[in-house]
Amino acid sequence: MPRPIQAFIHSNALRHNLQQVRHHVGDAKVWAVVKANAYGHGIERVYDALRAADGFALLDLDEAERLRALGWRGPILLLEGVFEPRDLEVCSRLGLWHAVHCEQQIDMLAAHKTHAPHRVFLKLNGGMNRLGFKPQSYRAAWARLNALPQVDEISLMMHFSDADGPAGVAAQLATFEQATQGLPGERCISNSAASLRFGADARVHQDWVRAGIALYGSSPNYPDADIGTWNLRPTMSLRSRIIGVQALQPGDAVGYGSRFVADAPMHIGVVACGYADGYPRICDTGTPVLIDGVRSRTVGRISMDMLAVDLTAPRAAGKASGFGSEVVLWGLASAAHGAAALPIDEVAAHGQTVGYELMCAVAARVPFGQEC
Ligand SMILES: *Cc1c(COP(=O)(O)O)cnc(C)c1O
């Protein structure tokens, strides 16, 4: 028997979430962002559900290869463009569209030998100061690209720094409009947060949006809005089982450092899940879990391979929780437990992080399954 921990991918939820994104962005085309191995879900596992997108956006050439191997003939966009000249050969061979965010990438294109010119997305640094040309050098970069025989259509791209927060998109949107005024080409500026919060505005959704986290059932602006607000569904469930039970008396401690001490008689379950599975070590006492579909909490430190949970709540709810019981670390309980939900955002908040980080960090030793 393998350890009982398993992650499940919910294809119907991926389909549903893609539809929800579409509802927010008018007639814009949608890039399904599948970087970081589809936010930890696995490109091969999400492909069928997300092939209703208009294209796939990612960073790694080998992930683009995998999408072509799956049979995807539509657009693929490299969000960071190429890293060295020979990457352009892969772009030519696989027909990849790529971002151009710096002069060095234009130099590489100018030296590239290709039969078919490349579709490129010229990136504006609208104030985030990560990748992209400053507004004052954007037009010169466009003109340089436009003069190259290696370049086909030029699209215009930007990334918001504050689409999920109180600052919103207004200032950077104005920067984009000014820097690109009069330039031809499709526009692509919005991530999930901008799409969900402001996507009704045609100036925000433009021609393409890049949706990542919303597809994967995590709210880009939790806790201001949870997945219920956006009508998104969890796409990944991390589940394990109880492999041991301890009865505690008042004063008994749990785990390394004796960080939890019982103040009344209680039972705890020891779960086959630890930080070596990708569960954050910081999620000690009080982080929500579902035991037999009933909400409870972690107790004590998270170990490498185990963590402890409080059996009080499920037993009070009439469940015979103990050895072998199902524990949901995030996502959905199994159908036998009513598919109760524990949004990944709630767990992430207890770990002082975001859903993105948890889903990307599920360890290689955790086996994956599919569950509609
Ligand atoms: C990751 C990424 C996205 C997707 O962001 P989400 O917040 O997950 O929707 C969009 N654009 C770029 C350039 C990215 O790197």
Nearest CA to ligand 1 atom 3: 191
In percent, the amount of the chain with pLDDT more than 90 equals 99
Query: Helix-strand-coil percent breakdown of the chain, rounded to 5?
Result: 30, 25, 45
Mean pLDDT, the chain, rounded, equals 98
Report the SS3 class of residue 161.
coil
31 C-alpha to ligand 1 centroid (Å): 10
Q: Does the Cβ of 101 fall within 6 Å of ligand 1?
A: no
Kindly report the number of other CB atoms within 10 A of residue 147's CB atom: 9
Query: Quick one: which atom of ligand 1 is closest to the CA of 192?
Result: 9
Predicted confidence (pLDDT) per residue in 55-84, tens digit: 999 999 999 999 999 999 999 999 999 999
Q: What is the pTM of this model?
A: 0.97
- Cα 69 to Cα 65, 137, 368: the distances in Å are 6, 38, 21
CB 144 within 8 A of CB 106: yes
Query: Quick one: which atom of ligand 1 is closest to the CA of 39?
Result: 8
Q: Does the Cβ of 38 fall within 6 Å of ligand 1?
A: no
User: What's the rounded mean pLDDT across residues 325-352?
Assistant: 97
Q: Is 130 annotated as a binding residue?
A: yes
The answer to whether the bond into 223 is cis (omega within 30° of 0) is yes
- Return the bridge partners of 253, or none: 261
Predicted confidence (pLDDT) per residue in 15-57, tens digit: 999 999 999 999 999 999 999 999 999 999 999 999 999 999 9
Query: Quick one: which atom of ligand 1 is closest to the CA of 59?
Result: 15
Which residues are catalytic, by number?
A: 35, 256
201 C-alpha to ligand 1 centroid (Å): 19
Note the pLDDT of residue 131.
98
Read off the pLDDT band of 310 (50, 70, 90): very high
Note the pLDDT of residue 120.
98
User: What's the rounded mean pLDDT across residues 141-169?
Assistant: 98
Note the pLDDT of residue 115.
87
Note the pLDDT of residue 251.
98
User: What's the rounded mean pLDDT across residues 80-104?
Assistant: 98
205 C-alpha to ligand 1 centroid (Å): 14
| Alpha helix ranges (H) inside the chain | 11-24, 35-39, 43-50, 61-69, 85-94, 103-110, 135-146, 170-180, 192-198, 202-205, 312-316, 344-350, 355-360
In percent, the amount of the chain with pLDDT more than 70 equals 100
pLDDT at 347 over 90: yes
Give the CATH fold of the 11-216 domain: TIM Barrel (3.20.20)
Q: Does the Cβ of 192 fall within 6 Å of ligand 1?
A: yes
Secondary structure letter of residue 133 according to DSSP: B
pLDDT at 1 over 90: no
User: What's the rounded mean pLDDT across residues 283-311?
Assistant: 98
Tell me the two tokens of residue 10.
């919910």
Q: Does the Cβ of 79 fall within 6 Å of ligand 1?
A: yes
Among 34, 79, 164, 235, which is best to mutate for testing ligand 1, by the most ligand atoms less than 8 A from CB?
A: 79
3: amino acid identity, one letter: R
pLDDT at 2 over 90: no
Predicted confidence (pLDDT) per residue in 161-191, tens digit: 999 999 999 999 999 999 999 999 999 999 9
Question: So what CATH class is 236-371?
Answer: mainly beta
Q: Does the Cβ of 33 fall within 6 Å of ligand 1?
A: yes
Read off the pLDDT band of 372 (50, 70, 90): confident
| Block residue for tokens 């409080």 | 310
Give the start-to-end residue ranges of the domains of the chain. Answer: 11-216, 236-371
Q: Does the Cβ of 211 fall within 6 Å of ligand 1?
A: yes
Query: Quick one: which atom of ligand 1 is closest to the CA of 211?
Result: 9
123 C-alpha to ligand 1 centroid (Å): 14
